[in-house]
Amino acid sequence: MNIGILTSGGDCPGLNAVIRGAVRKGIRQYGYSFSAIRDGWRGLLEDDIHPLHMVDVRGIGARGGTILGTSRTHPYSGGGPERMREVMAERSIDAVIAIGGEGTLAGASRLADDEGLPVVGVPKTIDNDLDNTDYTFGFDTAQEIATEAIDRLRTTAESHHRCMVLEVMGRNVGWIALQSGMAGGAHAILIPEFPVGYEQICEWVRSAWDRGRAPLVVVAEGFVPEDLDDQVSEAGLDKHGRVRLGGIGNHLAPIIEERTGLETRAVTLGHLQRGGSPTAYDRVLATRLGMAAVDLCHDAGWGQMASLTGTDIIRVPMAEAVDRLKFVPQHRWDEVQVLLG
């Protein structure tokens, strides 16, 4: 069997570990061969494909990014499924492992279930918002980077007696903000699932200040205060018409300063959360998911993805993973309230 591997959508730490795990297991256990599909679905549509050998994945598990490149090319563009069939036949590709997030897996599910293409999936997103898997690789690294940023901001905030606002990623869900905020001891945690108003935010800031602390606010990029109607987007739209989120931290800082009288600065982590080496947890999880994806190909489990439940890697339909997002539940939000302010 010749298996094509692609990485699609946003990059994140751990992608190379998935590729390495899949190639090493496929070659060593099953004697399969592999093909590197460049830049996601684009490579499969434009026949940008190259052999992928064991030597190509040597030592890449600790590297961030993806050796295959990535893009946001839609799988139904440029000839769609028919073109993919042509390319796969010409390249003798028997199966495709698609590594990606919600959009990638939705496309992969449709290709497998509706078009009959031999595609399996590996879930990837730093936001941890995919359903039917407890965690996605990349998330642990992102929350670790955000937590380190909080720790660093705390020392400068205390030195200058300031309030600091840290904006982290999280378009629709607030897992990074919640986890890093709890780990770093933030005084206000703001996430898309549970809007609060400016007055509540300032109350948390004042409470921390009155106790002699330099207030720290962690906000997910997709958070919308009760006082606003839409998400803050300073950069407008990307070439696909998708809103480029970012700027909620800069929006909140002057409001906090005006209402509390405290000098307030904002920091946006942005793509720092998606770059660099993955944590040990993400390396192990990604490697296990890559190996499980090869088993799915071996068993012709088309339309399924490798998933984490507890500490076990299981198989679930990709369609179920993209059916809905995994939001922060009410009980986790209730739990953190005692720590705020």
* Residue 263 contacts residue 277 (beta carbons within 8 Å): no
Which ranges in 26-136 belong to alpha helices (H)? 41-46, 80-90, 102-113
Q: Is 273 annotated as a binding residue?
A: yes
Separation in Å, CA 280 to CA 62, 86, 177, 287, 317: 9, 39, 21, 11, 27
Which of 8, 290, 246, 304 shows the shortest CA–CA distance to 137? 290
Q: Is 90 annotated as a binding residue?
A: no
Catalytic: which of 39, 127, 140, 282?
Answer: 127
Q: Is 126 annotated as a binding residue?
A: yes
Q: Is 265 annotated as a binding residue?
A: yes
DSSP state of 26: I
Q: Is 127 annotated as a binding residue?
A: yes
CA distance 224 to 81: 38
Q: Is 20 annotated as a binding residue?
A: no
CA distance 167 to 246: 8
Q: Is 272 annotated as a binding residue?
A: yes
Q: Is 138 annotated as a binding residue?
A: no
Give the SS3 label for residue 101: coil
Q: Is 136 annotated as a binding residue?
A: no
Distance of CA 22 to the CA centre of its chain: 20
DSSP state of 72: -
Give the other-Cβ count within 10 Å of 323's Cβ: 12
The yes-or-no answer on residue 295 being catalytic is: no
Specify which residues 23 forms β-bridges with: none
Q: Is 73 annotated as a binding residue?
A: yes
Q: Is 24 annotated as a binding residue?
A: no
* Residue 141 contacts residue 241 (beta carbons within 8 Å): no
Q: Is 162 annotated as a binding residue?
A: yes
Q: Is 242 annotated as a binding residue?
A: no
Binding residues for ATP: 10, 72-73, 101-104
Binding residues for substrate: 125-127, 162, 169-171, 221, 265, 271-274
Binding residues: 10, 72-73, 101-104, 125-127, 162, 169-171, 221, 265, 271-274
Binding residues for Mg(2+): 102
Give the active site residues: 127
